[in-house]
Amino acid sequence: MKIRSLRHVLRAAILVASISAAGIAAADPVAVKTRPVPLDRSQPPSTKAGKLEYRGGIELQSADKRFGGFSSLWVSPDGQRMLTLSDVSDWLTARLVYGLAGELIGVDDAEMGRLVGVDGYPLPAQTFETDAEALEMVSSGGIIVTFERNHRIWFYPPATPPFSLAPRALSIPPGLKDAPSNEGLEAFTELPDGRFLTITEGLREGDAFVGWIGDGKVWQKLTVATHGAYQPTDAKALPNGDVLLLERRYNPLTGVGGRIRLIPANQIVPGGRLTGEELADIAPPLSVDNFEGLGVRRGDGEWLIYIISDDNLQSIQRTYLMMFALPDAR
């Protein structure tokens, strides 16, 4: 056997062994502490943000050096589990803990691991390759992840633990390469008809941000109108085709704020301009940080909306996980 062939055989054997052992090696328990976060620190405190009712929130803390920088969010339909990705391609999953009134009060059974690349090996530490921004559990059972800097979209097949099997690349929308390096595909969601909606954080066309709708092979452009220094950071589709859009502003000039809009399904068409209805504008004196991840699930006569903040791995920022309710009758 030639030396080159032998190397290929050995590499394949190592890859198979690493995948076979992934359920043991790729997920590590991690200690996460929490403390309650009130919506409003003033007296008397408010329990509403716009049309949304506050249902509890927590600050997440951990001594693990991988912890933080979370830019995406998925919450299971039963509300028991959460999954999020960091800006450096580490993932965190945990069990959500609720109080007697159903309010969010903590997390437990937390684990962390690392995304693997298309070669099946954990992604390297280079920022250019690891800036994961959005995740979406799709109807096929896999997970789609979008990345900035090196703009791309990957589909991860179902696996336990998640992200332990090599992904395959999906086509990127035409024009995405023109997006600023650190302001690419920030939001991504699957629509009820199986198509995808994805929106950039910083690629503009006039007064709007550029996004696309497509099937992962063919993409058609649309735009998202915004104002007040807000930028899109995440999106989640509802069963009727409407989409919840999370936005944030976070800089010394405009201050800190988070906004949630409801985009009607009839606007989400090729060439469309997405405007929608503002549900909440979360800004001081309300508790706020750099909100970048959005999760949603069905409750009893309401939608339960979760948002997580990206602390950019900086000690002066916080990782908030907050839950709101949107009643059916608005």
Which range is least confidently modeled, 7-21, 23-37, 71-85, 167-181? 7-21
Which of 309, 311, 312, 313 shows the shortest CA–CA distance to 321? 309
Has residue 24 got a pLDDT over 80? no
pLDDT at 329: 58
Confidence of residue 1 (pLDDT cuts 50, 70, 90): very low
**Integer Cα distance of 229 and 251 in angstroms:** 9
pLDDT at 44: 75
Confidence of residue 45 (pLDDT cuts 50, 70, 90): confident
Specify the pTM: 0.91
Six-digit token string for 201: 């954080």
Q: What whole-number percentage of the chain has pLDDT above 70?
A: 92
Average pLDDT, the chain: 91
Separate counts of helices (H) and strands (E) for the chain: 3, 24
309-325 pLDDT tens trace: 999 999 999 999 999 99
pLDDT at 228: 85
Rounded to 5 degrees, φ, ψ at 23 are -60, -25
Q: Which domains does the chain have, with CATH numbers?
A: 27-327 (2.120.10)
323, β-bridge pairs: 306
